[in-house]
Amino acid sequence: MSLESVRRFFAERAPHMAIIELETSTATVELAARAHGVEPGRIAKTLAFRTVAGEVLILVTRGDARIDNARFKARFGKGKMLGAEEVEGVTGHPVGGVCPFGLATPLPVYLDTSLTAFDEVLPAAGAVHSAVRVSPTLLAELAGGEWVDVCKFASEMPAA
């Protein structure tokens, strides 16, 4: 069902986009990077949050980034990631296949500027074994997304 909604999305908005379907799971950044033969940063992970104001939003980040809580709070207010069941309910996509395309519910989509370090990224395509190759610019355009700066990298994190 979810993969089908993404197929319909691309048929209507970007018929040139090819959905990559693999035999192996790409449900995590590590699995996806290995399966596609790319570095983890090129995997565009899609997260769903609910703010304290009750707004549900989608945030697409590079695979090796983490949410910077202070930056997130400054931009959106306090927020919490949705649980797997709620994610699937609002997006129509299973965890591991969540993407900003073919959403079951219209949701605001935000893309972290960290994605722009790459000429091409791979977000999932509605299933735990699917993805698309797309430039960050086209990803933002297709998703109707807004650019934000809410992530940090290992180099920005305090040593353990």
- Around Cβ 152, how many Cβ atoms within 10 Å? 17
Token pair in block for residue 151: 């992530």
Rounded mean pLDDT of 13-42? 96
**CA pair distance 11, 98, nearest whole angstrom:** 18
Model confidence at 150, in pLDDT bands (50, 70, 90)?
very high
Residue 157 has pLDDT above 90, yes or no: no
Task: Provide the whole-model pTM.
Answer: 0.94
Give φ, ψ of 109 to 5 degrees.
-115, 130
Q: Give residue 145's Cα distance to chain centre.
A: 11
Instruction: Report, as an integer, the average pLDDT of 141-154.
Output: 93
> How many whole angstroms separate alpha carbon 134 and alpha carbon 123?
8
Token digits of residue 26: 């790409």
- Residue owning tokens 């970007």: 14
More confident residue, 2 or 131: 131
Distance CA 83, CA 2 (A): 18
- What is the rounded CA–CA span in Å between residue 117 and residue 133? 15
Tell me if 90 sits within 8 A of 106, measured CB to CB.
Answer: no
Count helices and strands (H / E) in the chain.
5, 10
Is residue 5 within 8 Å of 19, Cβ to Cβ?
Answer: no
Average the pLDDT over 72-81 and give the result.
96
Token representation of residue 73:
């709070």
Q: What is the mean pLDDT of the chain?
A: 94
User: Hey, what domains does the chain have and what are their CATH numbers?
Assistant: 3-152 (3.90.960.10)
